[in-house]
Structures are given as structure tokens and as C-alpha cells.
């Protein structure tokens, strides 16, 4: 049976072996990872200020390789984010301490995997479409420097995360819906239906590294919307219909009628002026025909009160027949009595 004291001593010795070089120098390396980045830091209390270091990495099935920007450096950190192209394979890091130009002590290799990953929370936006709540999830920019400078590369460009979106009633958290999707696009879209009208609903989301739920992000800040009540929409419609009806009636009353619109005058070049037919029968004895230069004009006795352009009165009366004649100024006239007799 092992005693607690012996177990503690054994663990301490194991830790010292991991971080102690062959010459007894001790370094304390640590890995920091945020949004798929990888930063190696180390502390070597017994090393002199002039000591230099080299960092190497190794991917499953490959050899150890120098990190080009971290060879013979005096700093105590190295960003190795660009050194790993496939984060789903086994990746290793080791630190070398240069005691002299020809002597390098390598610390115990350290793995770099999903257990080191930490993530920033995603951001969500919520909107309504018909009776559905649409939730859009955007991922943080990857710290991995494979992206061009000044450009944000969402982590979903480097991995396919599992994304969980939860929608809950703001005033009753026991009412909620949750969906988990495997995101293969840069942005995730998740739809929710069956929400109660007139209630406020909030959406939150988080994501995790593929197949490793232990490496998960915190939840996003909630985004809340109000589901429009159908009864409220109907009430608004009932209020708007009378207003629209009154507006249309006023618009029709203000529109000019066809009786008030100007009439198109007949052309002055027409040889015959067309007069609308009257429904009252016209006595043929009251119609006079006059012929001049192969032109014919029809005049009704109802137009005898029109003003003539001649200086003398062209209307002459025949006492014997009781008929009136127009002075045509040289035209041949047919009397009304003759016309009646002919008809």
C-alpha cells in the first residue's frame, strides 16, 4: 500500500524529469492557445541572460523541424501557430537550450492538441421571417497567421466546428429549443419555429472543436427579439382599412369629372360640321339647303339665333309663304316651301 508521502515525491520527480535537461538546467515551458493559435512560453530561472533557445515542432509521422523564426533566439516565447497545418493530427513541440555553439540541451517534448484549445465566444444575430426565428452565428477570427495580414479568417475556415444554438423565452427560461449542427460553412444559419406570438425570445450559441466537446467556447451574448402577435397584426389591419377607404373616397371626389373636362374643338378645315343628333324630331320644313361651289351645309332652324359676320341682316322673310331665307350672297337658295313640297 502506497503512502501519500511516497506518491507526492514520485510525482514531483516525474515532473522534474520532464523539464530538466541533461546538464541539470531547468525550464518551465507552457503552451497558450486561443482561437487555434499556439504560443509557447518558457521560464528558465537558472539560465544566464545571454542564453539562446531554439524551438522545434513535429507532426504525426514527420521529423523534428526548426521553427524558422525561433532559432537561436534570446526571447522567452515563440508563436508556432503557422507551424501546424493539421490540428487533428498529433503535434509536438520541444524547446532547445544552447549552452554553447556546439551544445544544445532539449527539454522533454510537449504535445499540442485539443486539450490546449480555448476559444472566444461567437456572435449571434436574430431576425424574424414569417413565423420563424432565424439565427446567424459568426465565429471569432483565428489567431493562426495563415491568413493574409489585415484579413479576418474565421476559425470555421480552418475547422468544421459543432455549433449549438439555444433559443429560450426571456421571461420563462424553462421554455426553450436547442439545436446542434455540424458547421461546414464560414457562417452558420439555424431556424426555429413554433414560438408563441407576443413573447420575447433570446438566442445564444457556442461551438466546439470537431469530435472533442471538451474544447468548447463560452456562450455568446444573447440576442433577443419579440415574436409579433397575429392578433395584434389583425387589429392593426382593422384600423388601417377604414383610413384607406376614406382616403380613396376623398381622392375620387377631388378627381375632375368628364363633364368638366374641356371638349376637343372640331377642326376648322372640315367642310361639314357634325352636330350631335337630337332625340326631338325635326320638321323637314324647317331645314334649308344651300349649294355653292359644290359645297353643302346643313343648318337647323334651332341655330337661327347665331350672329352673322355680314354687316346687313342676311335673314329675309317671304310674306306670301311665311318662310325665311338666308342671304347667301350669290348662292342658289332652295325655299322651305319647295323642299316641303318635294318631300
Q: What is the Cα–Cα distance from 136 to 223, expressed in whole angstroms? A: 10
* Under-50 pLDDT residues of the chain: 1-24, 232-237, 257-258, 264-280, 289-312, 321, 328, 330-343
Residues of the chain with CATH 2.60.40.10: 13-116, 123-230
13-116 in CATH: which number?
Answer: 2.60.40.10
* pLDDT attached to residue 104: 93
- Residue 337: helix, strand or coil by DSSP? helix
CATH classification for the domain delimited by 123-230, as one of 2.40.50.100, 3.40.50.300, 2.70.98.20, 2.60.40.10: 2.60.40.10
* pLDDT attached to residue 254: 59
Per the DSSP assignment, residues forming a β-bridge with 187 are: none
* Burial environment of residue 77 by CB neighbours within 10 A (0 to 12, 13 to 18, 19 or more): middle
Q: Which residues of 115-150 are buried (b: 16+ CB within 10 A; e: fewer)?
A: ebbebebbebebeeeeeebbbbbbbbbbbbeeeeee
Amino acid at each position: 500500500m502506497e503512502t501519500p508521502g511516497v506518491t507526492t515525491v514520485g510525482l514531483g520527480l516525474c515532473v522534474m524529469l520532464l523539464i530538466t535537461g541533461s546538464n541539470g538546467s531547468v525550464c518551465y515551458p507552457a503552451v497558450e492557445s486561443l482561437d487555434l493559435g499556439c504560443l509557447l512560453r518558457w521560464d528558465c530561472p537558472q539560465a544566464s541572460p545571454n542564453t539562446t533557445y531554439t524551438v522545434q515542432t513535429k507532426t504525426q509521422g514527420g521529423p523534428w523541424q526548426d521553427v524558422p523564426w525561433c532559432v537561436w533566439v534570446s526571447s522567452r516565447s515563440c508563436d508556432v501557430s503557422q507551424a501546424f497545418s493539421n490540428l487533428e493530427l498529433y503535434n509536438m513541440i520541444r524547446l532547445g537550450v544552447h549552452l554553447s555553439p556546439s551544445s544544445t540541451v532539449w527539454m522533454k517534448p510537449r504535445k499540442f492538441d485539443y486539450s490546449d484549445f480555448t476559444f472566444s465566444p461567437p456572435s449571434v444575430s436574430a431576425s424574424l421571417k414569417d413565423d420563424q426565428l432565424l439565427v446567424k452565428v459568426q465565429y471569432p477570427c483565428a489567431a493562426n497567421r495563415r491568413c493574409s495580414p489585415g484579413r479576418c479568417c474565421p476559425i470555421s475556415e480552418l475547422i468544421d466546428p459543432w455549433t449549438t444554438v439555444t433559443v429560450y423565452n426571456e421571461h420563462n427560461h424553462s421554455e426553450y429549443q436547442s439545436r446542434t449542427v455540424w458547421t461546414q460553412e464560414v457562417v452558420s444559419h439555424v431556424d426555429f419555429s413554433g414560438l408563441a406570438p407576443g413573447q420575447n425570445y433570446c438566442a445564444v450559441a457556442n461551438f466546439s472543436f470537431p469530435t472533442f466537446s471538451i474544447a468548447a467556447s463560452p456562450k455568446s451574448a444573447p440576442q433577443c427579439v419579440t415574436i409579433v402577435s397575429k392578433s395584434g397584426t389583425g387589429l392593426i389591419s382593422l384600423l388601417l382599412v377604414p383610413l384607406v377607404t376614406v382616403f380613396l373616397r376623398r381622392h375620387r371626389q377631388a378627381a375632375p369629372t368628364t363633364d368638366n373636362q374641356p371638349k376637343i374643338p372640331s377642326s376648322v378645315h372640315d367642310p361639314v360640321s357634325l352636330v350631335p343628333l337630337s332625340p326631338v324630331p325635326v320638321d323637314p320644313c324647317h331645314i334649308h339647303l344651300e349649294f355653292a361651289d359644290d359645297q353643302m351645309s346643313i343648318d337647323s332652324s334651332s341655330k337661327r339665333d347665331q350672329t352673322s359676320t355680314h354687316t346687313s341682316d342676311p335673314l329675309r322673310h317671304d310674306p306670301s309663304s311665311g318662310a325665311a331665307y338666308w342671304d347667301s350672297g350669290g348662292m342658289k337658295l332652295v325655299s322651305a316651301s319647295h323642299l316641303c313640297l318635294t318631300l
